[in-house]
Structure 1
Amino acid sequence: MTTRVSPSEFILRTPAIGPAIALVVAVVVFGLTTDTFFNVDNLSLVVQQSLVIGTLALGQTLVILTAGIDLANAAIAVLSTLLIAKLTINGTDAPIALVVGIVAAALIGAVTGGLVTGLRLPPFIVTLGLLTIVTAASRLYAQGQSFPVTDPTLGWLGTTQYLFGQIEVTYGMAVMLAMFVGLWYALTKTAWGKHVYAVGNDPEAARLSGIHVRRTVLSVYVVAGLCYGIAAWQALGRVPNADPNAFQLGNLDSITAVVIGGTSLFGGRGSVLGTLVGALIVAVLRSGLTQAGIDNLYQDVATGALVIAAVAVDRFSRGRQR
Structure 2
Amino acid sequence: MKALVLRTPAVGPALALLAAVLIFSLTTDTFATADNLSLVVQQSLVIGTLALGQTLVILTSGIDLANAAIAVLGTLLMAQLVLGGTSAPLALLLGILVAIGIAAITGGVVTGISLPPFIVTLGMLTIVTAAARIYAGGQSYPVTDELLTFLGTRQYLFGYVEVTVGMGLALVMYLIAWYALTRTAWGRHVYAVGNDIEAARLSGIKVRRTVLSVYLVAGLVYGIAAWQALGRVPNADPNAFQTGNLDSITAVVLGGTSLFGGRGSVLGTLVGALIVAVLRSGLTQAGIDSLYQDVATGVLVIVAVAVDRFSRGRQA
TM range (shorter): over 0.9
Residue matched to 1:99: 93
Residue matched to 1:279: 273
Give the residue type in structure 2 aligned to 1:37.
F
1:8, 1:29 → 2: CA distance? 22
* DSSP-derived class of the 2:283 partner: helix
1:24-51 CA-partner distances (Å, limit 9, x unpaired): 0000000000000011000000000000
1:270, 1:225 → 2: CA distance? 20
Residue matched to 1:45: 39
* DSSP-derived class of the 1:87 partner: helix
Of residues 129, 133, 136, the one that matches 2:130 is 136
Residue matched to 1:200: 194
Q: Does 1:239 align with 2:239?
A: no
Give the residue type in structure 2 aligned to 1:170.
T
1:270-294 CA-partner distances (Å, limit 9, x unpaired): 0000000000000000000000000
**Shift in Å, 1:10:** 1.5
* DSSP-derived class of the 1:37 partner: coil
Of residues 76, 101, 110, the one that matches 2:70 is 76
Q: Does 1:250 align with 2:250?
A: no
Give the residue type in structure 1 aligned to 2:167.
M
2:297, 2:8 → 1: CA distance? 22
* DSSP-derived class of the 2:107 partner: helix
After TM superposition, what 4+ stretches of structure 1 lie above 4 angstroms from structure 2?
A: none
Calculate the TM-score normalised by the size of structure 1.
Answer: 0.98
* DSSP-derived class of the 2:145 partner: coil
1:99-150 CA-partner distances (Å, limit 9, x unpaired): 0000100111100000000010000000000000000000000001111101
Q: Does 1:148 align with 2:142?
A: yes
1:162-189 CA-partner distances (Å, limit 9, x unpaired): 0010100000000000000000000000
Q: Which runs of 5+ in 2 are unaligned?
A: none
Calculate the TM-score normalised by the size of structure 2.
Answer: 1.00
2:205, 2:68 → 1: CA distance? 30
Query: What do you get for the CA RMSD once the two structures are aligned?
Result: 0.3
Of residues 291, 301, 318, the one that matches 2:312 is 318
Residue matched to 1:4: none
Residue matched to 2:289: 295
2:10, 2:211 → 1: CA distance? 24
1:11, 1:85 → 2: CA distance? 44
* DSSP-derived class of the 1:313 partner: helix
* DSSP-derived class of the 2:155 partner: strand
**Shift in Å, 1:9:** 1.4
Of residues 18, 24, 48, the one that matches 2:12 is 18
* DSSP-derived class of the 1:161 partner: strand
1:11-35 CA-partner distances (Å, limit 9, x unpaired): 1110000000000000000000000
Give the residue type in structure 2 aligned to 1:146.
S
For residues 90-239 of structure 1, the aligned pairs below 5 Å read: 90-239=84-233
% identity of equivalent residues = 78
1:120, 1:101 → 2: CA distance? 28
Q: Which runs of 5+ in 1 are unaligned?
A: 1-6
Residue matched to 1:3: none
1:190-211 CA-partner distances (Å, limit 9, x unpaired): 0000000000000110011110
* DSSP-derived class of the 1:196 partner: helix
**Shift in Å, 1:81:** 0.3
1:96, 1:128 → 2: CA distance? 30
**Shift in Å, 1:226:** 0.5
Q: Does 1:27 align with 2:9?
A: no
Aligned residues: 316
Give the residue type in structure 1 aligned to 2:66.
A
1:213-252 CA-partner distances (Å, limit 9, x unpaired): 0000000001001100000000000000000000000000
Give the residue type in structure 2 aligned to 1:238.
R
1:123, 1:109 → 2: CA distance? 12
